[in-house]
Structure 1
Amino acid sequence: MKPIQTEDRDIIADIRRLTHRANRNNITRTQAYLAFFQNHSEVHWALLAHLVSRNGGWNMTDLHGEWLPRLMTAAEIKNYFWFLERCNWLIFHDAYAQLLLYEKMKRTGQDLTALLVDLGVSVFMQPIWQSFLHTKDSVRLTRALIINEQQYIEQRVVDKPFAEQQIFFSLAFFTQSILSLNQVIFPYKEHPTDRRLHACGISVHRFPSVTQRIDIGKTLYQLLFDNPVRLQSIYEWARRIPHTGSRADYWPHLFTPRKPASETDGRYLPRFEGKELIAGAPKLYSPQVSSVWPDQEHPPADGTDWYQGENWQTALEARADLPTLDEDQYIRSLRMIEWGVKFVQAFRP
């Protein structure tokens, strides 16, 4: 193997430094993805990653929000947060380094894709980036990054005993699946004069399956980019509203980041009537990430290259059309969660 030249070593060190700095927590990652897309809109994956990372933050804060502490134990909450955080951290660690290398190549006009291996990136991505430098095929690049990042976390998190024993086989995970708690949504305005945001997205099922996660990513990408008007509305909202991790970022009429006074007996009282809260009912508590989760220290991203000569060309070219959800379905899922909390309370002393 040819030794790394001093200039290349400096590029790698700089990329690693910048990636580490932006990988502090869910907030910094989410901001970094959006900032990159604003400068390089041909890399569609960066906007998709920003929005999915926002959802990751909402999932993290749900663990200390209105409902999940009533359905999960403290140990389950801690384990589930670590699972979300580790996946969020690993994907950023791998993908953001690729984005920064592309930024360098775009600025200098050099093909530096040989450095991907030294950055720990799968050999699967090298020809993809080489091709993108000339074709600017945003769709193919996005699908490749979706495949690569889901494979990246497969052996490092999803297929680990911890995830199997403490996450996927837990009663809490089963309960969340039944109640449709695992969702990814995109807020947007259908018309500029709308006072409130609408929502579209997908319910996440069969998360342990890597092919299912890849199809979820592709479906979300199509949902985001197939409709230019909706895409622009989603993007404008993302630029206008900083990510805090609270669901009040998109629906402040339902959610609040301010912790309400405790109910007299500590039990949840029904809030919903149709799409709105019952008159006089307090808003649903949805804290900000920084108020409930401190920054985490992560072990190195271990593992080997997932790509061992398998043919993923078909997956690169194929669409995925999983069922999506609209605002009415999302509201129904919130009401189902409320029903689940009431059910658990009824049988819990």
Structure 2
Amino acid sequence: MFFCTKKKKTVPLSRRLLDIKGKLTKSLYSAQTYDFDDLSCEERTIVGHIKQTTGLLNVNNVSRTKAYLDFYRQYPEIHWAFLGHAVSRNGGWNMTDLKGDLLSRLMNEKKQEEFFEFLERGNWLIFQDAYPQFLLYGESIRRKRGLFHLLPHFGISKFMEVIWEDFWYRRDSYILAMAQVVNEQSYLEARMIQNPFYMEKVLHTLEFVLQDLLSFNQILFPSLKKGRKTVLTGMTIHQFGSLHERIILGRRLYHLLFSDRQRHQDILIWCMIQPHSGSRKDYWPQIFNDVNEGLPGPLQIRRLRNCRLIRNSPRLYSPRLEYAWPNMKHRPAEPGDWFDDCSVVRYLIENDEPVDGKITGDYCETLQNLELAALAKKTVFI
């Protein structure tokens, strides 16, 4: 028996996006070369300064996360800077979880190091690609002329050169933000997700535990409500290995941060008053502490019930990043431009799908599952 399924209606590209697609097509087949020696003295100085500044700030997750927020506060029209900041906070929390009270009891040191290297490399790669774009935009503002022809000298995709040129004249923050989501996730795809080392050591393992156990699959956006109570919104990652799903997640996270003005302000205010340390104490000091209050060795008793500490229980240890991991020296980013198909412009079609951001229940369940696994001395990795 055969069943007919209704074909999903394809949304046509707007005139604006058709124009962008035409420019992307032209760029894709352009044979233009980029020689540093052909730059003027002024342009060489700009490129050198941006590379130096990016390197100084790309030290660890804490320095990157702060840099994103500082830039967004100066240039609030660059929405991805705030999205990058909020997601980077989660990256830091995931890094310190590896040395915290629960995951450290379920993973041996070798596996902890492999997961940390994966998270840190991805965080480093995105910053060294995204932040030069921000600094070049800042230089363009100061000099009152677009400097985006310099982007290839930072190894940045042709895709983003077209997008930045469009933004310079049309100031569409949504299209720029969505293009940056597409760019950064596509940039990571070959370098991280399809990398044989990470596929073997991390992703094949990660796919098993993401769904039910570890907290790597939840992105949390804390916000400050009346009464100074911290409230969590966010989303859960599904199919982490799928480029398409990661881009769609990025779009939904963007809507969580920007579709509701009051929610945006609540999250932004929290981020401004709470410096990022890497410890989950940043948002839930009633449950987490960056000082270890518990006893060494196996977890003996249950501490959590309904996302609250049982009376007289020590808080869960969640260290600051500086005490959990040393700064990592990175090899240079792998060369190459991911952009080879103009159909990615369809990701830039504005989408107003509703997102409620309810995450507290799922996150509490994750914590309780982790604690139960630790209490059972369940060896997830050996």
Same fold by TM-score, threshold 0.5 exceeded? yes
Report the aligned-residue RMSD.
1.9
Compute the displacement of 1:202 (Å): 1.1
Instruction: State the secondary structure of the residue aligned to 1:118.
Output: helix
Instruction: State the secondary structure of the residue aligned to 1:117.
Output: helix
Q: Which position in structure 1 is the counterpart of 2:276?
A: 243
Q: 1:268 to 1:298 in 2, by over 3 A?
A: farther
Instruction: State the secondary structure of the residue aligned to 2:226.
Output: coil
2:223 touches 2:231 (CA, 8 Å); kept in 1? yes
Determine whether 1:292 maps to 2:327.
Answer: no
2:106 touches 2:380 (CA, 8 Å); kept in 1? no
User: How do 1:114-193 and structure 2 match up within 5 A?
Assistant: 114-170=149-205, 174-179=208-213, 181-182=215-216, 183-189=218-224, 191-193=225-227
Q: Size of the alignment, in residue pairs?
A: 344
Q: Which range is displaced more, 324-333 or 296-305?
A: 324-333
Once residues 126 and 91 of structure 2 are traced to their aligned partners in structure 1, the CA distance between those partners, rounded to angstroms, is 12
Deviations 1:11-58 (A, max 9, x none): 110000000000000110001000000100000110111111110000
Q: Which position in structure 1 is the counterpart of 2:17?
A: none
Compute the displacement of 1:346 (Å): 9.5
2:95 alignment partner AA:
M
Q: Which runs of 5+ in 1 are unaligned?
A: none
Instruction: State the secondary structure of the residue aligned to 1:304.
Output: coil
Deviations 1:98-138 (A, max 9, x none): 00000011111111111011111000001110111122111
Q: Which range is displaced more, 94-103 or 334-343?
A: 334-343
1:178 alignment partner AA:
D
Instruction: State the secondary structure of the residue aligned to 1:205.
Output: coil
Once residues 192 and 233 of structure 2 are traced to their aligned partners in structure 1, the CA distance between those partners, rounded to angstroms, is 28
Compute the displacement of 1:323 (Å): 8.0
2:278 alignment partner AA:
G
Deviations 1:247-288 (A, max 9, x none): 00011001000022425x522421112231100010010000
Q: Which position in structure 2 is the counterpart of 1:210?
A: 243
1:291 alignment partner AA:
Y
1:268 touches 1:341 (CA, 8 Å); kept in 2? no
Q: 1:283 aligns with which of 315, 327, 331?
A: 315
User: How do 1:37-48 and structure 2 match up within 5 A?
Assistant: 37-48=72-83
Q: 2:100 aligns with which of 49, 54, 65?
A: 65
Once residues 380 and 176 of structure 2 are traced to their aligned partners in structure 1, the CA distance between those partners, rounded to angstroms, is 50
Q: 1:288 to 1:115 in 2, by over 3 A?
A: same
1:257 touches 1:285 (CA, 8 Å); kept in 2? yes
Q: 1:178 to 1:257 in 2, by over 3 A?
A: same
Identity of aligned residues (%): 37
User: How do 1:188-337 and structure 2 match up within 5 A?
Assistant: 188-189=223-224, 191-193=225-227, 195-263=228-296, 266-319=298-351, 324-337=357-370
Instruction: State the secondary structure of the residue aligned to 1:86.
Output: helix
Q: Which position in structure 2 is the counterpart of 1:36?
A: 71
Deviations 1:289-329 (A, max 9, x none): 00011111000011310001332111111536678433233
Once residues 95 and 281 of structure 1 are traced to their aligned partners in structure 2, the CA distance between those partners, rounded to angstroms, is 43
Q: Which range is displaced more, 303-312 or 132-141?
A: 303-312
Q: Which runs of 5+ in 2 are unaligned?
A: 1-32
Larger Rg: 2
Q: 1:28 to 1:83 in 2, by over 3 A?
A: same
Q: Which position in structure 1 is the counterpart of 2:148?
A: 113
Once residues 196 and 111 of structure 2 are traced to their aligned partners in structure 1, the CA distance between those partners, rounded to angstroms, is 15
Compute the displacement of 1:203 (Å): 1.3
